[in-house]
Amino acid sequence: MTASLPDAPWWASAVVYQIYPRSFADSDGDGIGDLRGIAGRLDHLELLGVDVIWLSPVYPSPQDDAGYDISDYQGIDPIFGSLADFDALLADVHTRGMKLVMDLVVNHTSDEHPWFIESRSSHDNPKRDWYWWRPPRAHMEPGAPGAEPTNWGSSFSGPAWDLDERTGEYYLHLFSRKQPDLNWENPEVRAAIYSMMRWWLDRGVDGFRMDVINFISKAANADGSLPDGIVRNGALFGNGRPHYVCGPRIHEFLQEMHREVFAERPEMPLTVGEMPGVTVDEAVLFTDPARGEVDMVFQFEHVDLDRGVDWWDVHPLRLTDLKASFGRWQAGLADLGWNSLYWDNHDQPRVVSRFGDDGEFRERSATMLATVLHLHRGTPYVYQGEELAMTNAHFERIDQYRDIESVNHYAEALAHGQADEGSLLEALRAVSRDNARTQVQWDATENAGFTTGEPWIAVNPNYPQINAAEQHDNPSSVFYYYRSLITLRHAEPAVALGDFTMLMPDDEAVYAFLRSHGQTELLVLGNFSPEPHPVLISDAAAWTGAQLVLCNIDGGAVTGASSLPELQPWEARVYRRQVG
């Protein structure tokens, strides 16, 4: 575990590891990962050296959206174990010097949550106003085509409203119809959520990753109605985002949450807000410590750069776009606020398949990508399997997919003639969330050592070659390279705290930047291409004799004097020198 640096919050020098429990490790042979499975694999995380574990949802859930549809905020779903299993895991994590952060999903609940069951029961139920109930569009019959209160589409296809026959009104669900949106305008809702959060903190958890937390404030009209969104050419629905991304009361709500839940806690729980569509300027407001909102946000700009009109429209990344984006975020949050840094999570395809080369240069491109990310200023997040350079699933057929977003999109686009089967499967192969959701590959035994049963989604067939057991035994593996990066962040204040300067912003192959802190300067270089490339920086000569701290070729030579030779395909280097 990291030692905190003076004058910096503990998480500035920390690395977070995300566990997606259903795919991490299965202890009971039902084919789904569970808490005891996680407990059985903590050695892997301790050896890796991460400081914090973020657990994707393990609460009771109908699993419509793989646990992001919660029916009880204060329990554990039996597929994952029990509260006793959770307490045991938490204690073990703490004993090993790590922290544990829960997923907080409070933009919506499951439709099977008792709050929603009550709310839908009648117009005058005391919890009616806990959700967004609205009558049909003026002068239209409930259920008539187009009678939804607004034209918004849901993130998982279809309209964002569902009719409840019993009361003849619609409820809002920005995600699946089984994920009704909570009404944060109602103070009782907020109080119930804060109380639940305190309950987890009192139990010992070390913070929260907050799911789509910048969607909780909706911009209603004065009469309580919600506005329609613009319908882009060829789209089936309007875009509601301008009416709920960073809405009018978002800062007020987060400040209230901070006061009610976090402010009095000397242990400084970690708070990270997942915020699709957040801008740099907004992120400064969210993460300025003086404002008391959240410690850091997950922004999406860099993972949208290889997309066109929508998520399914994939094109190659231009490195200059990536540098411009990261550069702007580094500069924008340099003085106030804090970045979180990620390539992968349970919603994104695997980075080695996406921005690297998951064939010939899999290990080298994965470690180059890791180097570039981890050497930025901010808190890095490692998603399970990323430290092994696990690849996309490369599924061939629609029946191999499990994710509601992928399956619904495929059905809707086919039904409306928006795309043919072949191009839809091709898009899914590149972007489906299931790419990240295949099981962690532990060893070369059947089902990658994940389960003795029937896995809930097909294990990636490349597990005999790519697995943790092989990498634990191999000091030049991707796993040990990640370990070196984490060790470097813990040991070198310039990594955690140094200023950031982008170099070679117009180069389409080499990613280069400086980090400087006191007398120490680091030069970080990454070749994003399968060709050798020169390093064209103005003061290259000044780096002659600098220490090579990290390199992803030949198992990572760690010392030695050198000038700046051409970078080999997908090579990464980090140099250190003392200045002044």
Q: Quick check: helix, strand or coil at residue 17?
A: strand
Q: Where are the alpha helices (DSSP H) in 267-420?
A: 280-287, 319-332, 351-354, 362-374, 404-415
Q: Which is nearer to ligand NOJ, 346 or 533 (CB)?
A: 346
At 240, which amino acid appears? G
CA–CA gap between residue 434 and residue 393 (Å, rounded): 7
Binding mask 256-295 for ligand NOJ (x = CB under 6 A): ------------------x---------------------
Q: Closest approach of Cβ 12 to ligand NOJ, in Å?
A: 24
Residue 310 Cα distances to 176, 304, 307, 421, 503, angstroms: 18, 9, 6, 18, 31
Contact positions with ligand NOJ (CB under 6 A) in 365-424:
none
Q: Closest approach of Cβ 67 to ligand NOJ, in Å?
A: 9
Among 210, 212, 220, 546, binds ligand NOJ (CB under 6 A): 212
Catalytic residues: 211, 274
Q: Closest approach of Cβ 107 to ligand NOJ, in Å?
A: 7
Q: Which is nearer to ligand NOJ, 307 or 517 (CB)?
A: 307
Ramachandran class of 274: left when φ > 0, alpha when ψ lies in -120 to 50, beta otherwise: beta
- Token couple for 2: 């990291």
Contact at 8 Å (CB) between 8 and 16?
A: no
Nearest residue to ligand NOJ by CB is 68
Q: Which is nearer to ligand NOJ, 175 or 410 (CB)?
A: 175
Contact positions with ligand NOJ (CB under 6 A) in 54-73:
65, 68
CA–CA gap between residue 477 and residue 483 (Å, rounded): 10
Q: Which is nearer to ligand NOJ, 216 or 375 (CB)?
A: 216
Q: Closest approach of Cβ 50 to ligand NOJ, in Å?
A: 20
431 scored as a contact of ligand NOJ (CB under 6 A): no
H or E element at residue 170? strand 169-172
Distance of CA 274 to the CA centre of its chain: 7
CA–CA gap between residue 261 and residue 196 (Å, rounded): 9
**DSSP letters spanning 500-518:** EEEE-TT-SSEEEEEEEET
102 scored as a contact of ligand NOJ (CB under 6 A): no
105 scored as a contact of ligand NOJ (CB under 6 A): yes
- Token couple for 362: 């899999």
Contact at 8 Å (CB) between 504 and 510?
A: yes
Q: Which is nearer to ligand NOJ, 393 or 510 (CB)?
A: 393
417, HSE (Cβ side, Cα atoms, 13 Å): 0
Contact at 8 Å (CB) between 272 and 294?
A: yes
Q: Which is nearer to ligand NOJ, 140 or 411 (CB)?
A: 411
**DSSP letters spanning 198-258:** HHHHHHT--EEEETTGGGSS----TTS-----B--TT-SSBB-GGGTTT-TTHHHHHHHHI
Q: Closest approach of Cβ 373 to ligand NOJ, in Å?
A: 19
Distance of CA 339 to the CA centre of its chain: 13
Q: Which is nearer to ligand NOJ, 58 or 105 (CB)?
A: 105
85 scored as a contact of ligand NOJ (CB under 6 A): no
- Token couple for 206: 């070390």
Contact positions with ligand NOJ (CB under 6 A) in 542-561:
none
CA–CA gap between residue 539 and residue 286 (Å, rounded): 37
Among 80, 132, 175, 482, binds ligand NOJ (CB under 6 A): 175
Q: Closest approach of Cβ 426 to ligand NOJ, in Å?
A: 23
CA–CA gap between residue 122 and residue 127 (Å, rounded): 9
Q: Which is nearer to ligand NOJ, 106 or 572 (CB)?
A: 106
211 scored as a contact of ligand NOJ (CB under 6 A): yes
CA–CA gap between residue 489 and residue 272 (Å, rounded): 19
413, HSE (Cβ side, Cα atoms, 13 Å): 21
Q: Which is nearer to ligand NOJ, 137 or 346 (CB)?
A: 346
Q: Closest approach of Cβ 402 to ligand NOJ, in Å?
A: 13
Q: Closest approach of Cβ 153 to ligand NOJ, in Å?
A: 14
Q: Quick check: helix, strand or coil at residue 127?
A: coil
Q: Which is nearer to ligand NOJ, 52 or 524 (CB)?
A: 52
Q: Closest approach of Cβ 346 to ligand NOJ, in Å?
A: 6
Contact at 8 Å (CB) between 58 and 80?
A: yes
Number of residues in contact with ligand NOJ under rule CB under 6 A: 9
Among 347, 357, 358, 492, binds ligand NOJ (CB under 6 A): 347
Residue 514 Cα distances to 5, 95, 251, 444, 503, angstroms: 20, 37, 33, 40, 7
Q: Closest approach of Cβ 36 to ligand NOJ, in Å?
A: 23
Footprint on this chain of ligand NOJ (rule: CB under 6 A): 65, 68, 105, 175, 211-212, 274, 346-347
